[in-house]
Amino acid sequence: MFPSRFRYQAPHSLDEAVSLLHNGGDYVKVLAGGQSLVPMMKLRFASPEMLVDINNLPGLGYHRADPDGSLHIGALCRHADLEFSDLLKGTQPTMAAAAPMIADPLVRNRGTLVGSLCHADPQGDWASVMMALGGSVIAQGPGGKRAIPLAEFVTGPFQNVLSYDEIAIEAVVPKALGVRSGGYLKLERRVGDFATVGVAVAIETSGDKVVRAGIALTGVGGSTIGATEAAAALTGSPLTADSIDAAADLAANAAQPRTDHRGSAEYKRQMVRVFVRRILAGGTTAHGVSAERAA
Ligand SMILES: Cc1cc2nc3c(=O)[nH]c(=O)nc-3n(C[C@H](O)[C@H](O)[C@H](O)COP(=O)(O)OP(=O)(O)OC[C@H]3O[C@@H](n4cnc5c(N)ncnc54)[C@H](O)[C@@H]3O)c2cc1C
């Protein structure tokens, strides 16, 4: 299939890009990696009048740790940049575990983390990871910048809170309150597939106590699910076999899976339970559990 006709603009400054969105007409879309938007256009699920290609905007390909301990991921940072990042391997175990599990190498070379958050696919892996980490999106519009916590950014399947004339310029992970650990596990039918079930866990430990926890679920509901009760069950005390079991059960209860060709709802719920337990039982070292595929 071919997309409908559209106009194409490739601005060289952020101001110009925002202005094109503001003045461009009824249905204008930002083009980042194109790995979700282009297939949607070819299938005619999306038929924008105009694309604003942001790939020529300078200085958005970064991911960096700021002196205050926060991590910043620019709108043109590709999945592959994160997959091969030494920075993530040392400091962000949940992100480091997830990066190699996004799609396949071709998609990872072009697709962006920020684009994935904007696309808001319930089966998108990055939204769960960023939600578990308490991340946020920085949006730039004609009136300036605003920060939107991930928990408020995604409003439903393929929907986010960005206004028509805003560009998400970066994603931010806040400074850890303690030693970070965690991981991401994904059940997929074959390597490179979208998640049947994905679980992101991010733990911050000070002494032997968990001082912050985040758990979020991919592919088991109409949008990314923050398992907040499960995370709360871990916070304020050391990780024990009992607290891990309680969190795993609460996360399984938070899932809203549907039976389909990938498996029954009960099977998917059980996989959430197993993944939470498996990641948490991996320990609380700075490097967390290793990424693994549960084929
Ligand atoms: C074969 C295949 C397999 C895949 N498998 C997986 C997978 O296993 N897991 C997974 O998570 N994803 C998967 N994806 C999706 C992939 O990760 C995309 O890269 C990602 O969803 C979108 O990022 P992008 O940069 O390509 O965005 P684009 O496709 O360019 O844009 C996607 C949407 O977000 C909007 N957008 C993008 N960037 C911005 C911005 N900065 N500001 C405002 N709006 C913006 C666009 O307007 C569009 O609506 C797969 C894709 C393919 C083609």
Asked if 163 and 141 touch (Cβ cutoff 8 Å), the reply is yes
- Give me the helices (H) in the chain, please: 14-23, 37-42, 79-83, 86-91, 93-98, 105-110, 113-119, 125-132, 150-153, 228-232, 241-254, 265-281
Which pLDDT band holds residue 202 (cuts at 50, 70, 90)? very high
Lookup: tokens for 247: 């969190």
Distance 175 CA to ligand 1 centre (A): 26
Q: Which atom of ligand 1 is nearest to the CA of 126?
A: 11
CA 4, chain centre distance (Å): 29
Which pLDDT band holds residue 289 (cuts at 50, 70, 90)? very low
Among 52, 75, 41, 94, smallest CA distance to 289 is for 94
Q: Which atom of ligand 1 is nearest to the CA of 110?
A: 26
Q: Give the C-alpha separation, 53 to 30, whole Å.
A: 6
Predicted confidence at residue 1, as pLDDT, reads 78
101 C-beta neighbours (distance < 10 Å), count: 23
The one-letter amino acid code at 57 reads L
Q: What is the pTM of this model?
A: 0.94
**pLDDT at 286 > cutoff 80:** no
Which pLDDT band holds residue 290 (cuts at 50, 70, 90)? very low
Dihedral of the alpha carbons of 78, 82, 86, 87, in degrees to the nearest 10: 100
Cα 99 to Cα 33, 48, 115, 127, 191, distances in angstroms: 15, 29, 14, 12, 13
**pLDDT at 113 > cutoff 70:** yes
Lowest pLDDT segment from 75-79, 123-127, 196-200, 279-283:
279-283
pLDDT tens, 91-101?
999 999 999 99
**pLDDT at 295 > cutoff 50:** no
Mean pLDDT over 158-165 rounds to: 96
Nearest CA to ligand 1 atom 12: 124
Distance 117 CA to ligand 1 centre (A): 8
**pLDDT at 277 > cutoff 50:** yes
**pLDDT at 256 > cutoff 70:** yes
Predicted confidence at residue 90, as pLDDT, reads 85
Average pLDDT score, the chain: 94
Predicted confidence at residue 238, as pLDDT, reads 95
Predicted confidence at residue 266, as pLDDT, reads 97
Nearest CA to ligand 1 atom 19: 111
Among 172, 138, 153, 146, smallest CA distance to 63 is for 172
Q: Give residues (CB < 6 A) around ligand 1.
A: 29-37, 39, 54, 75, 102-103, 107, 111-112, 114-116, 118-119, 124-126, 162, 167-168, 194
State the DSSP H helix or E strand holding residue 187, giving kind and residue range, or none if neither: strand 179-187
Q: Give the C-alpha separation, 276 to 166, whole Å.
A: 35
Which pLDDT band holds residue 186 (cuts at 50, 70, 90)? very high
Q: Which atom of ligand 1 is nearest to the CA of 46?
A: 49
Distance 179 CA to ligand 1 centre (A): 31
